[in-house]
Chains A and B, each alone.
Chain A
């Protein structure tokens, strides 16, 4: 269980030098299950995820994970406590292979069968990918899937995905959703997914709408989603495109 108590995050604006509040006094509790975070671009979604993962340190407030105050814990400590963060923009490494990273994610040891399992869940053939370097030879979509495979290998009680659907090519949404369900079945705990996609919001137990660094709505999907769809709530970034049946085509047309 994750608890945020009056969490704020202020940064110095590069342009005018003024203090800018990216996250404003946010309090919320995330229990087991799926929580989707949505809202307009620049609303603070990724910042909130980075505050939870320890990449940023809050300028105010407290973060509790399983009743332990982790506000001042480093990224490594939080990772060891069981928090996983799948980046929106996966990082490239010259020289490190898919196997190296998945092995680290799995905690140091990895059998070929396990690696094969993690990779096939994201639609990649282990034989073909296991020894590939995580460098510029991999496409954005491939990197994104490897990023998700690492999260699967971690098997932690809290997994945060920052826009997992972005850049996913030649792969269906249905599989991505299947991945989230699998993680939940195997590891239990909470899965937080930052997304603009209606189909991902649809599988969430709860939806959090974040805009201007503040919570606009947080509640069961049944209560929050209809409002988002009707447009009674500010969420210009929500995509309701029916052509999502074929994300590949959509991705290519964009």
Chain B
């Protein structure tokens, strides 16, 4: 495959903790084209023919394997819409690392919108990590709009981790999950926004199977004049357990909206939501200052810990 340049390497490090080309199956998309791909005996990656994107097909019984599908954008003004579809067979145990890094050195907006669809087979276990990161000295906006649709067959388990710490001017995240008998989904979101950034997240989980569960946990820090909106809707249509939690630190002149919603249509659905917004407690700062940190260091320590 083509050699990675320094900017691509740095983006890759930030979104996938990768220092080189990953081992196992991968597909690296860069500026709208394919930079590299590797398939394995159990994991196939096929380019879609009807629209931009790829199909990732994981054979039943695949265990302890990983797929990396990072997207890199280094071209100012590039706008793309990508459809990636994951077909995960029964009894798998896999790790999927996606993520998008934008380096925008120009003054035109760069934008990546991705629709990821997961079909998780019976009794399969999936860990899905998605990191978003933006950088570049240009004035061009860096925009990402990830959509995720997850269909979980009986007894399957998916843990999704989404992280957006830096550099994305505007993001709108939509996540939908349909959870069948005995299946469970855990979603952990971490977001930090600054300057005039805007981030909206919208989670919807439909618990349709007996013994299904959903656990949505969002931790965020809103700085400067940024704005965050958190929406979650857990629908309990069976004997199920649902929990959503949104915990936000608000700073400066930021705005944080939390709109948790619960809908139960079955007497045995047990649903809980928690939402909290608050500034860093003064006593937390004071405690760390009595241990020798400056106020700025204390603040940084508290935020880093909170988003860890």
- A: residues with CB less than 8 A from B are 53, 55, 74-76, 79-80, 83-85, 87, 90-91, 93-97, 100-101, 104-105, 107, 150, 154
Contact = CB atoms under 8 A, between A and B. Distances in A.
Interface of B is mostly: helix
Given A95-B305, A96-B305, A100-B305, A76 B293 contact: yes
Nearest to B307: A95
A87 to B, nearest CB: 7
B290 A75 contact: yes
A100 B303 CA distance: 13
A150 B302 CA distance: 17
B294 A94 contact: no
Query: Which residue among B281, B287, B290 has the maximum number of chain A CB atoms within 10 Å of its CB?
Result: B290
Given A76-B295, A104-B301, A94 B306 contact: yes
B275 to A, nearest CB: 14
Contacts of B286: 55, 75, 91
A74 B289 CA distance: 9
Interface in B240-294: 247, 281, 283-284, 286-294
Interface of B: 219, 247, 281, 283-284, 286-295, 301-302, 304-308
Contacts of A100: 301, 305
Given A93-B302, A93-B305, A95-B307, A154 B247 contact: no
B291 A150 contact: yes
A101 B292 CA distance: 11
Query: Which residue among B286, B295, B302 has the maximum number of chain A CB atoms within 10 Å of its CB?
Result: B286
A74 B293 CA distance: 11
B186 to A, nearest CB: 18
Given A76-B295, A100-B305, A104-B301, A94 B290 contact: no
B178 to A, nearest CB: 31
A107 B301 CA distance: 14
Contacts, number: 57
A101 B301 CA distance: 10
Given A94-B247, A95-B308, A154 B302 contact: no
Contact of B291 (A94, A95, A97, A101): A101
Query: Which residue among A74, A75, A83 has the maximum number of chain B CB atoms within 10 Å of its CB?
Result: A75
Nearest to B284: A91
Contact of A85 (B290, B293, B306, B307): B290
A87 B283 CA distance: 10
Given A87-B287, A91-B287, A94-B247, A107 B307 contact: no
A140 B172 CA distance: 41
A100 B304 CA distance: 11
Contacts of B284: 91, 93
Closest 6 CB pairs of A and B: A95-B305, A96-B305, A75-B289, A95-B306, A79-B292, A91-B287
Nearest to B289: A75
Contacts of A105: 291
Contact of B302 (A53, A75, A79, A96): A96
B289 A79 contact: yes
A84 B302 contact: no
A22 B306 CA distance: 36
Given A55-B286, A75-B286, A104 B305 contact: no
Contacts of A94: 247, 305-306
Query: Which residue among B281, B283, B288 has the maximum number of chain A CB atoms within 10 Å of its CB?
Result: B288
A101 B288 CA distance: 8
